[in-house]
Amino acid sequence: MSMTLDALQRKSGLIGESDVIREVLQTVAQIAPTDISVLVLGESGTGKEMVAKAIHTASRRKFEPLITVNCGAIPVGIIESELFGHKKGSFTGADEARKGYFEAAHKGTIFLDEIGETPLETQVKLLRVIETGEFIPVGGTQTQKVDVRIVAATHRDLREEIGRNNFRQDLYYRLKTVTITMPPLRDHVEDIAVLVERFGLEFATRNDLVFRSITPEAVRTLKSYRWPGNVRELKNVIESVLALNPGERITPELLATHLQLESFQPNPALPVLVTTPPEQSDRELVLRQLLFIRQDLHDLKHIAAGQPLAASPVDPYMPSPPPPSGVPEVLIGDVSALDQRPLIEPDAIGEVTMEEVEREIIAKTLAKFNHNRRRTAQSLGIAERTLYRKIQSYGLDKK
């Protein structure tokens, strides 16, 4: 009893009309009602977590918990106690017994994100719980049993990791029975227009702004971009453009400062002549008209309430401490402008601590990479776990 693709798309919010995305949805609809484990592969920002949520939502477990575990962000020393729980007194500091994520996910789904980052010792225990539903809490002697559906994801090539002795072959074979591979955005650029409409409308609604859509030229610009950060990057670009240009229609000019020049490449996936079937352009036309009616309504509401049109944007993603006087203003999210000035102003020396410098560089790098922790850690040359710890201790969490 699987739901229709349209219903699945509405419920999960996973957008796309391209063949590749429809195939993904088709697979999700087929396997969601079963209890089979699923491995989701794909580059960063392609929607792996969305797929995990879609599987849960379309399953008979939908009213039970969906527990997401980022295996790459949990320090190695505590990962097993986080996953399987621990008994009181099992290690220094274990003053109370604690339930693990598996127990918390009982009857529901557990999403093991970045499974490629799990330590080898822990992988043995994961294999056991996947095969038998059994585990032993840290410091315990008794086996516990859970009923949990497992969805795992990674951006890594697990076969390569097996070759490097970073991933167990038996666990890989156990997981890969059903594999869903999320395509990079450059391989389904035909979805860009609908994605932009959705992200634009959502952002405008959240911030009480008007969304005046995007010009066909701007869609073409977006299609010729390589999207190293995939759909997440597209969403961030649209939100920044709208935050900085509230109420304006998106044009290539508005996009220019938000896209990295070096990521423009002749995109081999892009057909030179784009021909849209007539029924599709009709539908697009109707959608667009609906969109404009909606904006007019919004405008009228504001006029009737005596409020100015296009309220000033509030973007929760943008940390913006006012620049100290004398320091050239740096565009938010653009660290390159920092290259032109010394990292520390000479008159600040003696006033700043290593911690402050570290906090600042982490905050700025996070902003540049749209809070993508993997890319931030790579760029700073530190491990993702280390970055995670520092984000926690400096309170740099986005939420």
Which does residue 16 bind out of Mg ion, ligand ATP, none, counting CB within 5 to 8 angstroms by kind? ligand ATP
Told to check if 16 binds ligand ATP by CB under 6 A, we report: yes
Write out the H or E segment, with its range, that includes residue 179: strand 178-181
Told to check if 48 binds ligand ATP by CB under 6 A, we report: yes
38-41 vs 66-70, strand pairing mode: unpaired
Told to check if 116 binds ligand ATP by CB under 6 A, we report: no
Query: In the bound complex, what is the minimum distance in angstroms from residue 165's beta carbon to ligand ATP?
Result: 23
The residue from 61, 155, 298, 368 that contacts ligand ATP (CB under 6 A) is 155
Measured CA to CA, the distance from residue 399 to residue 57 in angstroms comes to 24
Told to check if 46 binds ligand ATP by CB under 6 A, we report: yes
Q: Give 115 or 242: the residue with its C-beta nearer to Mg ion.
A: 115
Side-chain-facing half-sphere of 356: CA atoms under 13 Å: 8
308: nearest Cα among 250, 247, 241, 245: 247
Told to check if 186 binds ligand ATP by CB under 6 A, we report: no
- Rg from Cα positions in the chain: 24
Which of 54-62, 73-81, 230-238, 258-266 is the region at the interface with ligand ATP (rule: CB under 6 A)?
230-238
Query: In the bound complex, what is the minimum distance in angstroms from residue 336's beta carbon to ligand ATP?
Result: 23
Measured CA to CA, the distance from residue 355 to residue 359 in angstroms comes to 6
Contacts of 158 (CB under 8 A, 6+ apart): 116, 167, 172, 176
Q: Give 45 or 313: the residue with its C-beta nearer to ligand ATP.
A: 45
The residue from 4, 13, 309, 397 that contacts ligand ATP (CB under 6 A) is 13
Q: Give 46 or 221: the residue with its C-beta nearer to ligand ATP.
A: 46
Measured CA to CA, the distance from residue 37 to residue 148 in angstroms comes to 10
Q: Give the binding site for Mg ion (CB under 5 A).
A: 49
The residue from 18, 34, 44, 181 that contacts ligand ATP (CB under 6 A) is 44
Query: In the bound complex, what is the minimum distance in angstroms from residue 17's beta carbon to ligand ATP?
Result: 10
DSSP structure string for 201-227: HHHHHHTT-----B-HHHHHHHHTB--
Q: Which residues bind ligand ATP (CB under 6 A)?
A: 13-16, 42, 44-50, 155, 231-232, 235
